[in-house]
Each structure stands twice: as structure tokens, then as C-alpha cells.
Structure 1
């Protein structure tokens, strides 16, 4: 019986290294490195990415709140501040007050984060600090 040269066959297998680099095995006999990861590693977000998400969360929260009264978004609602229809003008003024309060608190938090005196809050923690958004009756 002839000797058969069996070689590992991992051709096409995709793997990642801890630095996030992606690799694919292309040759018969090539094996996975001992430090290979079979799933893409989650990278920690940078401070800039965290800040970007933080500000986006505030804006989405305000936009979603405005939509509960059928405005396109926060900005759309605020444009009704000079409306001749008192309901719209009242809602716009309230939205402006909520917008200003949310961004004021948000920027205070952000300043503390950037100075290193606190860590960036989770979305739930942030919304708790911003307080509830409820339309007045």
C-alpha cells in the first residue's frame, strides 16, 4: 500500500487575529494559527465614537418624542413656535424647552467625560439623567 500524504484542508476558512485583521486560508496544508479567532473580534469603541453615539442618542430621543405628536422630528416641531394655531405654537415652545434642557444636560455630561471626571453613561443612564419627555396636557 502506498503512503498517502494527508494534509490539512482548511482552504476558504476565514479567521481573524486579535488586532482585527481578517484572513482566509488559500492553500492546502495551511492551518489555522494558534491565535486565530473564528469570529470577528469586537473592538472597543474609541472616545470619539462614544461621543458621536452619545450625541446621536440625544438627537434621536428628541426626534422620536416630536414624532409622538406627528411632527417629522424635533426641528420640524420647533418651527411651529410662531404658528398662528395655538396648539402648534404651544407644542413647539415645549419642544424648544425640552430640546434646550436635554442638550444643556448632555453637554454638561460630555464636558465631565472629556475632562475625565466621569465615564460616559450608558444610553439608559443618559436618558435617566435627561429626565422624562412628556407632553403637557
Structure 2
């Protein structure tokens, strides 16, 4: 059910269904037109803000955001442990994605082929094992430098793009 907000004279909002806000008014199809909403200073309440591992949704006093009212805001995550988990998680996702492109479930399952008697699988497992160590060394070193104040926290996409790349057997260029 769509919620609507009426802005009161004191700047606060009353939020409820349109039928509760306007019990004596009927609308074609049960929904007010955008013109009627504007004329009566009524806003749809929309709280579908997109967030990621570096932001979080927090409850907020209702506020106007364009032509809607929101009751949540996004705030940056400031807890370094949560930030670290997000950055490390992004590296893990990239490693798992690379392993899946080679036909493995994830990098962990790929590395289980280290002792395989099938040379191709053993070579790919060795490449993943070596790469995983390089990625974790990169990630931990970079995040410790941030924690120590030696460098600023890079945007997540730049952090991931700078990670070491895997070199599959027979490739001349890392992918």
C-alpha cells in the first residue's frame, strides 16, 4: 500500500494511506492524480534509496526529496571494521567471479584441484592459489596503510581495479 504525506503548517508531516488522510475523497482507480497531489501539497512516501556496503539506511524525520517524502537517509559507514569487510568482500567477489569464468564454483573450489592428476586443473589451481595470496597481500597492505593514516581510503571500484590480476597458464597478458 502506498503511503502519502501531508506537510503540516509547522513543517512536520502526517503520513498514512490516502484513504486515511482524505476519508471523504474518492479517486478514479483509487489513486490520486499527480496534479491533485501537487495542488494539495501531498507527497508519495518513497524509501527505496539504493545503498551499498559503504552506506547504510537510517530512519529519519520525514523530509522532502524532489517530489517525494522520505523517512530514511543514507549515511556513510564510518566503522573501519565494516569498511574493511566491504573492501575485502569486494576482492573475494572478484576472485570468485574469475574462478567461475574458468568453470569452477568459486576460488575455494578451484584451489582444491592443486593435487589433481589432470594437468590443466592443477595448473589453474596453482594460478588461483598464487593469485589469492597476492590479492590478500595487496588488500591487507592497502587497508593497513589507510588505517595507519598513510593514505586515504580509495573509492571501492578503484581499490578493486588495482588488485593484482590472475595469470592463467598460457596467457601472455593478465585478465
Q: What band does the TM-score fall into relative to the shorter chain?
A: 0.7 to 0.9
After TM superposition, list the pairs within 5 Å mapping 1:81-120 onto structure 2. 81-120=114-153
Alignment length, in residue pairs?
115
For residue 12 of structure 1, the aligned residue among 16, 32, 54 is 16
TM-score (norm 2): 0.58
Deviation at residue 48 of structure 1 after TM alignment:
2.4
Q: Compared with structure 1, are the counterparts of its residues 70 and 101 closer, same or farther at alpha carbon in structure 2 (3 Å cutoff)?
A: same
**Greater per-residue helix proportion:** 1
Q: Compared with structure 1, are the counterparts of its residues 69 and 15 closer, same or farther at alpha carbon in structure 2 (3 Å cutoff)?
A: closer
For residue 63 of structure 1, the aligned residue among 79, 86, 96 is 96
Q: Which runs of 5 or more residues in structure 1 are unaligned?
A: 1-7, 24-35
**Greater per-residue strand proportion:** 2
TM-score (norm 1): 0.73
Provide the residue aligned with 1:30 in structure 2.
none
Provide the residue aligned with 1:73 in structure 2.
106
Deviation at residue 93 of structure 1 after TM alignment:
0.2
Aligned-residue RMSD, C-alpha: 2.4
8 A Cα contact 2:127 2:166, kept in partner = no
Q: Which runs of 5 or more residues in structure 2 are unaligned?
A: 1-7, 18-44, 48-57, 64-68, 171-175
Provide the residue aligned with 1:135 in structure 2.
168
Deviation at residue 131 of structure 1 after TM alignment:
3.2
CA distance in 1, matches of 2:99, 2:122: 13
Q: Compared with structure 1, are the counterparts of its residues 15 and 74 closer, same or farther at alpha carbon in structure 2 (3 Å cutoff)?
A: closer
Provide the residue aligned with 1:44 in structure 2.
76
